[in-house]
């Protein structure tokens, strides 16, 4: 929950020349009120626009929610689903995440499906089991063709906005486990096609090492995306 529409447009215009690349997909996921002006601001560039949430119904008496058709009509291509903050503060569950994932696919949106464990869960040694459960439920009813276009973002909750970063080995271990699960569910072709990201205090200083791992295809960047350093992360190579 950062940036007014005016501020978001100014930041987008400042970042556009810094995130030019033909080797990576760049998406600005902005607050709902910023979507329309940012879509206009990035028109004609290599940047797509994403939303930070959607509801699992198309319309109705759900005051304050935003639907898939609204996002599509506004020019959105991607949508973040199941971020840990949505789960913690707004009572989202694996089941509601699944409903939103299915709704995103129904309307041709690419879901960026978030998963991650708390520090207690990591210390108890249940990280992989926890992540597998989150992903398996999120993808219930998703077809292989749909899954191959999805993005899964692994964000250890204890590393989001704290300055703490999972070690490269920890990040790769979990992202590798996610890819193995996708292979179990859908086969090798889908597991190779799906994009798996790491998120959690990604910065210009650690991006290159993280993204060099075999099962980390990019990053879901939080605080660092609000600074010009985001250009260095996008062009880490």
Residue of 155, 169, 173, 184 marked active site: 155
What distance in Å separates the CA atoms of residue 44 and residue 42, rounded to the nearest whole number?
6
Is 192 catalytic? The answer is no
Give CA–CA dist 135/191, Å, rounded: 13
| CA atoms in the 13 A half-sphere facing the CB of 11 | 20
Q: Let me know: does 100 contact 54? Beta carbons within 8 Å.
A: yes
> Which residue of the set 83, 107, 173, 209 is catalytic?
83
| d(C-alpha 149, C-alpha 151), whole Å | 7
Is 155 annotated as catalytic? yes
* CA–CA distance, 41 with 6 (Å, rounded to integer): 11
d(Cα 51, Cα 157) in Å, to the nearest integer? 20
Please give the positions annotated as active site. 83, 155
């Amino acid at each position: 929950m950062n940036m007014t529409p005016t501020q978001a447009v100014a930041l987008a215009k400042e970042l556009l020349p810094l995130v030019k690349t033909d080797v990576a997909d760049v998406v600005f996921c902005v607050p709902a009120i910023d979507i329309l002006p940012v879509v206009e601001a990035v028109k004609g560039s290599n940047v797509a626009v994403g939303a930070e949430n959607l509801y699992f119904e198309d319309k109705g008496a759900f005051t304050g929610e935003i639907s898939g058709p609204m996002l599509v009509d506004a020019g959105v291509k991607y949508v973040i689903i199941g971020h840990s903050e949505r789960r913690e503060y707004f009572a989202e569950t694996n089941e509601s995440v699944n409903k939103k994932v299915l709704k995103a696919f129904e309307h041709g949106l690419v879901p960026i499906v978030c998963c991650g464990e708390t520090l207690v869960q990591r210390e108890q040694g249940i990280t992989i089991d926890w992540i597998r459960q989150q992903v398996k439920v999120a993808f219930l009813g998703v077809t292989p063709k749909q899954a191959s276009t999805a993005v899964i973002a692994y964000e250890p909750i204890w590393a989001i906005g704290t300055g703490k970063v999972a070690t490269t080995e920890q990040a790769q271990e979990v992202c590798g486990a996610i890819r193995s699960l996708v292979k179990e569910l859908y086969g090798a072709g889908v597991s190779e096609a799906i994009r798996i990201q790491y998120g959690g205090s990604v910065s210009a200083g650690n991006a290159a090492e993280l993204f060099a791992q075999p099962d980390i295809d990019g990053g879901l960047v939080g605080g660092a995306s609000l600074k010009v350093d985001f250009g260095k992360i996008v062009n880490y190579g």
